[in-house]
């Protein structure tokens, strides 16, 4: 019998690469252990992403900055904030980001996809993922596809982040097959700073990222099979304690995570709203 393909999204592969135990909690253990409370930074990111999706749902002539407060209000996720004052401040900041960002967009430009699912198969995995935006731009030999990912975290991003993102590379690999056009360029649009971190992949660099994703998929398949055959799940899916633990949804379930400092659900947003610190103090 041929081996079944490993069905995955970028976040599923990323969960295992970050911490096999976290992967187990999220995708293997059933019933899944309870997650911690919702994070305000996830609410903020999700609100901004959905507002931008709905921006492109407007007719081109209505894509004006005046539409943004209503769009953001309609998509606003309220969970995780410390109090109403913090939530209001976050709303105001998100609106500023959006106003600055849409000012950089050509009103008539129509992406070929907005929150569009792209999928592709290799001999090991069946990948699918939802890209924030997929553009078509002129290239030397005709139109090319570009993957755009919005970011709302505090930290700025550079070309190394775009180059190293397995998720972006997999989107590019899949989009090239879905649209039957070259897709080599991937971009991280960081709304808080209004900067774009871009990388132009080559067929070789995309193949390397796909190969790494396949290696991760093989590791997961082997680990899941070992547990099914009776191995100790704690040994097969080890913990990898580190800075991510403080932000992990399963910190309260995980013995290693319990050692990490507790973060309030609004801690990251509080940092986002605070004035920039001098280098070294952030």
User: Residues interacting with ligand SF4, by CB under 6 A?
Assistant: 19, 21-22, 239-241, 244-245, 248, 250-251, 254, 256-257
As measured in angstroms, the least distance from the Cβ of 16 to ligand SF4 is 11
Our CB check for ligand SF4 shows the closer of 44 and 245 to be: 245
Q: Is 119 helix (H, G, I), strand (E, B) or coil?
A: strand
The residues that bridge with 142 in the sheet, in sequence order, are: 139
Short-list 158, 213, 265, CA closest to 16: 213
Q: What letters, b where the CB count within 10 A reaches 16 and e where it falls short, cover 38-64? A: bbbbbbbbbbbbbbbbbbbeeeeeebe
Would you say 252 and 258 are in contact if contact means Cβ atoms under 8 Å apart? yes
Our CB check for ligand SF4 shows the closer of 168 and 245 to be: 245
**Could you give the CA distance from residue 251 to residue 269 in angstroms, rounded to a whole number?**
19
As measured in angstroms, the least distance from the Cβ of 239 to ligand SF4 is 4
Q: Which residue is nearest to ligand SF4 (CB)?
A: 257
Our CB check for ligand SF4 shows the closer of 4 and 30 to be: 30
Tokens of 90: 């976050």
The residues that bridge with 213 in the sheet, in sequence order, are: none
**Could you give the CA distance from residue 265 to residue 255 in angstroms, rounded to a whole number?**
20
Our CB check for ligand SF4 shows the closer of 16 and 81 to be: 16
Our CB check for ligand SF4 shows the closer of 36 and 143 to be: 36
**Could you give the CA distance from residue 115 to residue 133 in angstroms, rounded to a whole number?**
6
As measured in angstroms, the least distance from the Cβ of 92 to ligand SF4 is 32
As measured in angstroms, the least distance from the Cβ of 109 to ligand SF4 is 39
Tokens of 126: 């069946």
As measured in angstroms, the least distance from the Cβ of 29 to ligand SF4 is 11
As measured in angstroms, the least distance from the Cβ of 268 to ligand SF4 is 16
Our CB check for ligand SF4 shows the closer of 172 and 245 to be: 245
């Amino acid at each position: 019998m041929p081996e079944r393909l490993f069905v995955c999204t970028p976040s599923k592969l990323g969960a295992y690469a970050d911490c096999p135990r976290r992967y187990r909690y999220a995708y293997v253990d059933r019933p899944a252990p309870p997650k911690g409370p919702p994070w305000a930074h996830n609410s903020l990111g999700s609100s901004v992403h959905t507002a931008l999706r709905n921006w492109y749902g407007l007719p081109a002539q209505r894509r004006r900055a005046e539409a943004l407060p209503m769009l953001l209000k309609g998509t606003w996720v309220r969970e995780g904030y410390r109090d109403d004052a913090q939530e209001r401040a976050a709303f105001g900041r998100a609106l500023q980001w959006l106003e600055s960002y849409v000012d950089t967009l050509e009103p008539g430009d129509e992406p070929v996809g907005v929150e569009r699912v792209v999928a592709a198969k290799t001999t090991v995995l069946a990948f699918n993922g939802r890209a924030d935006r997929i553009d078509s731009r002129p290239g030397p030999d005709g139109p090319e596809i570009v993957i755009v990912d919005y970011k709302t975290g505090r930290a700025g991003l550079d070309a190394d982040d775009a180059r190293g993102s397995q998720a972006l590379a997999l989107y590019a690999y899949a989009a090239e097959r879905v649209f039957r056009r070259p897709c080599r360029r991937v971009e991280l649009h960081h709304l808080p700073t209004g900067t774009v971190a871009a990388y132009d992949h080559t067929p070789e660099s995309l193949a390397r990222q796909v190969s790494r994703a396949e290696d991760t998929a093989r590791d997961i398949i082997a680990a899941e099979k070992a547990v099914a055959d009776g191995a100790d799940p704690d040994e097969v899916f080890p913990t990898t304690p580190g800075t991510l633990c403080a932000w992990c949804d399963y910190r309260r379930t995980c013995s290693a995570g319990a050692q990490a400092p507790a973060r309030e659900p609004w801690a990251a947003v509080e940092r986002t709203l605070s004035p920039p610190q001098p280098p070294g103090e952030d």
